[in-house]
Amino acid sequence: MGRIEKVNQSVKEEVSQIIQFEVKDPRLEFVTVTRVEVSRDLQHARVFFSVLGDAAKAEDALAGLDSARGFIRRLVGKRVRMRYTPEIDFTLDRSLEYNINIENAIEKVKDEFAKDSSND
């Protein structure tokens, strides 16, 4: 594992812990950090997250994360050994939603295929 991957993993673990146990915001109750991408110069970190619920829950979660950004960054700075604490940007990770849609489409095609084969 390279240096950037280690930094990504460390930041992901800390941000996850902070959101789960230290940020007291009900909008963040069902937020999961899915991955983190820290820039090569370590100045910026994009934190991808998913949230259980609909689009309104996702918007609320993003607002909650944005309001807690300074607090989260400060704690990451104390806990992850880096020369600079990266600026944190939160991004909704839609890959889970995308995967569910793909699985549903595959199931639908399978069902139609099974229906067509039974009619032969």
- In Å, how far are 31, 33, 37, 95, 104 from 82, measured between CA atoms? 25, 20, 15, 29, 43
Tell me which amino acid residue 20 is: Q
Find where tokens 């095609």 sit.
109
Beta bridge partners of 71: none
DSSP 27: G
- Fold observed for domain 3-93: GMP Synthetase; Chain A, domain 3 (3.30.300)
Token couple for 52: 């259980």
pLDDT tens per residue, the chain (120 residues)? 788 999 999 999 999 999 999 999 999 999 999 999 999 999 999 999 999 888 899 999 999 999 999 999 999 999 998 888 999 999 999 877 777 778 888 988 888 888 887 776
pTM recorded for the entire structure: 0.80
Say if CB 51 and CB 99 are below 8 A apart: no
